């Protein structure tokens, strides 16, 4: 894990590429958490053909959704449905990691 210069308020966890097919060059999880309990958890896969697959779990005030919402794949740019997330950050991260485990396991089915 590291804190990138371009986003000092976040932590980025790089995935071991042994979990992914050879068509994926990089996969990471970027986590930003704030004292207000707002957050952004962004998952990204970068493909060797230049394409990408991304999604994002968010809780923050905005004009496009409820405070808690999900930005679905493949590009995470358009907000999807409103969501309900646990109040404890550990439960939120656990839920996100379970979703991502399902994603990674699906590569090998």
Residue 18 has pLDDT above 60, yes or no: yes
State the chain's mean pLDDT as an integer. Answer: 90
What CA–CA distance (Å, rounded) separates 70 from 56? 6
**pLDDT tens digits, one per residue of 20-61:** 999 999 999 999 998 888 999 999 999 999 999 999 999 998
Give the list of residues 6+ apart from residue 42 with CB closer than 8 angstroms, or none: 29, 30, 31, 54, 55, 56, 76
Q: What is the pLDDT of residue 62?
A: 86
pTM above 0.85, yes or no: yes
Q: What is the pLDDT of residue 8?
A: 66
């Amino acid at each position: 894990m590291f804190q990138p210069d371009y986003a000092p308020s976040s932590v980025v966890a790089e995935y071991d590429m042994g979990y992914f097919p050879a068509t994926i060059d990089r996969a990471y999880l970027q986590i930003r958490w704030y004292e207000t309990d707002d957050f952004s958890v962004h998952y990204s896969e970068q493909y060797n053909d230049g394409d990408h697959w991304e999604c994002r779990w968010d809780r923050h005030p905005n004009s496009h959704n409820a405070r808690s919402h999900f930005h679905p794949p493949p590009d995470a740019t358009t907000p999807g449905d409103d969501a309900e997330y646990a109040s404890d950050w550990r439960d939120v991260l656990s839920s996100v990691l379970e979703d991502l485990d399902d994603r990674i396991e699906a590569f090998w089915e």
